[in-house]
Amino acid sequence: MSLADATEEESRTLVFEDPRVAQEVFGTGDSHLAMIEGRCEVDMVARGNQVTVRGDSDGVDMAVAVLQHLYKRAKRGHPIESADVDGAVRICRTNDHQLSLPAIERPDSVGKIATRKRQVEARSPTQNAYIRAMETNELVFGLGPAGTGKTFLAVAYAAQCLERGLVERIILSRPAVEAGERLGFLPGTLEEKVDPYLRPLYDALHEMMPGDKVARAMQQGVIEVAPLAFMRGRTLSNCVAILDEAQNTTAMQMKMFLTRLGENSRMIVTGDPSQVDLPPNMPSGLDEATRILKNVEGIGHVRFRGEDVVRHQLVARIVAAYDAESSTEADRK
């Protein structure tokens, strides 16, 4: 290797003021540092409240940014888990696609959603853009594969708005037809038939609000969880209305839902265009809506990709494999 091809190694030492917080950042047995080493391709040596980072300049810059980001989080009293380390790396590594997204800001200005029970922060630049879009638009489309946080962040944002008194209620809805199964063929009462389809929305609610408060709010009608068919003929005012799994709406259903928007309300529509369970030859209302409303003022569009998956790393690899297969199949055709 010639001198021109060699990469100059850089070394930088960070000293954190609070040793206790520094240990939270480093992780048990320096496990968090090991993760950062692998993601940023650097070497780290920790002693007490300081850590020395060695590697090429880009890797060192990224690792230092990640450490500083995590230290600020820990300093605010939030625990650091492996998912937070992974999220910090994502935030500090902004690719060309994500640079074009709205509101991609400095790592120390990450979008946050907070309720009395929990605070969540964006774990990828696309999640950051999604949170900013919900804050600045009356209607937001969040599209992308499973595991990217579309539904969870939407419900968290709705819970935050309710607790702050910005809206009077939350309405959560899903089309109740999936994988070819219609409600009439399922056993039980209507509530029992609908409940499995809406379970992910319940789960997200309980993550952000105490269980007794959720139950009380549902009894009082402050939080309403209902299949999409129940939205017809209504005007949704003073609320945050979320339509989940929107790829399984027909064009007529989507138009019906969007035109329910009333005064002082926000709508968030989430879905995965690659997971349409409608009958063959029936176009998805989500695809049509995002195409027709692409340039309408007051509507935000955020598209997640496989690289934004924040579940287990294997989920990201599964999504990438399916995307590659879809591309290969399209090339064959």
Which amino acid does the sequence have at 326? Answer: S
Q: Which residues contact 115 (CB under 8 A, 6 or more apart)?
A: 156, 159, 160, 163, 208, 209
Give CA–CA dist 157/170, Å, rounded. 10
Q: Which residues contact 279 (CB under 8 A, 6 or more apart)?
A: 180
Specify the pLDDT at position 53: 92
Write down the mean pLDDT value for the chain.
82
How does residue 254 score in pLDDT terms, banded at 50, 70 and 90? very high
Q: What pTM does this model have?
A: 0.73
The pair of structure tokens assigned to 118 is 């929990």
pLDDT tens readout for residues 31-88 = 999 988 988 889 999 998 999 999 988 888 888 988 988 888 888 887 888 878 887 8
Own/partner contacts of 306-310, CB < 8 Å, gap of 24 or more, are 306/145, 307/95, 307/124, 308/90, 308/124, 308/126, 308/127, 308/144, 308/148, 308/149, 309/145, 309/146, 309/147, 309/148, 310/83, 310/86, 310/87, 310/90, 310/123, 310/124, 310/127, 310/147, 310/148, 310/149
Closest CA to 224 of 143, 272, 158, 178: 158
pLDDT tens readout for residues 200-218 = 788 888 889 998 999 899 8
Indicate if the pLDDT at residue 178 is higher than 60: no
- Which domains does the chain possess? 9-92 (3.30.1370.10), 109-332 (3.40.50.300)
Mean pLDDT throughout 142-161? 92
Tokens 């800001």 appear where?
105
First to last CA, the chain: 44
The pair of structure tokens assigned to 174 is 């899903």
The pair of structure tokens assigned to 33 is 């540092």
How does residue 131 score in pLDDT terms, banded at 50, 70 and 90? very high
Specify the pLDDT at position 3: 39
Indicate if the pLDDT at residue 261 is higher than 90: yes
Range scoring the smallest mean pLDDT among 25-29, 181-185, 282-286: 181-185
Specify the pLDDT at position 325: 73
Mean pLDDT throughout 125-133? 90
How does residue 233 score in pLDDT terms, banded at 50, 70 and 90? confident
pLDDT tens readout for residues 78-114 = 788 887 888 788 777 765 444 444 444 444 467 889 8
Indicate if the pLDDT at residue 167 is higher than 80: yes
Indicate if the pLDDT at residue 187 is higher than 60: no
How does residue 315 score in pLDDT terms, banded at 50, 70 and 90? low
Phi, psi of 51 (to 5 degrees): -140, 135
